[in-house]
Structure 1
């Protein structure tokens, strides 16, 4: 689920993997935050909630829609 939400947020904001990697580096993620590593980590979907939040903050996403409320 996190993978889909993160990719949707990237698309909505027009952020590429390269731009996200650069933004993460600026936030102190160091050399491991290169385009290839970020792309692989997101595409595998095996990342922590902390990584998800860092990516959102790096993109300037302070509110993320998790889904539509269901009607009962």
Structure 2
């Protein structure tokens, strides 16, 4: 199952990093368009990954991001799978 909060968090963080914009810089840029966010509130929103679509678009707009690429998730990805073999059971410790 896709964790959408994690996906949007990584997407916003990567766009900020590409442009060398810190969360403090972002708070100042948002302030210029009338959006009052502190560095701490931005840190919190991004770390949780739960913020409104409006906040997301405001951020992308002020940093000059006109296009985003959303990576495709593999649904059959196995992180730590058990081997596909049958275990031998011990009988009387043998």
TM class by shorter chain equals 0.7 to 0.9
Deviation at 1:67, TM superposition (A): 2.1
TM-score where L is the length of structure 1: 0.85
Cα separation, 2, equivalents of 1:6 and 1:67: 13
- Considering fraction of residues, name the structure with more helix: 1
2:8 matched to 1:2?
yes
What's the counterpart of residue 67 of structure 1? 71
What's the counterpart of residue 11 of structure 1? 17
Map Cα deviations across residues 2-44 of structure 1 (whole Å, 9 max, x no partner): 10100010111110000000001111012xx111111111111
What's the counterpart of residue 35 of structure 2? 29
Correspondent of 2:61 among 33, 43, 57 = 57
3-state DSSP class of the match of 1:29? Answer: coil
**Which has the higher relative contact order, 1 or 2, with Cα contacts under 8 A spaced 6 or more apart?**
1
TM-score where L is the length of structure 2: 0.66
RMSD in angstroms over aligned alpha carbons? 1.4
Unpaired runs of at least 5, structure 2: 1-6, 73-94
3-state DSSP class of the match of 2:50? Answer: coil
Regions of 4+ moved over 6 Å: none
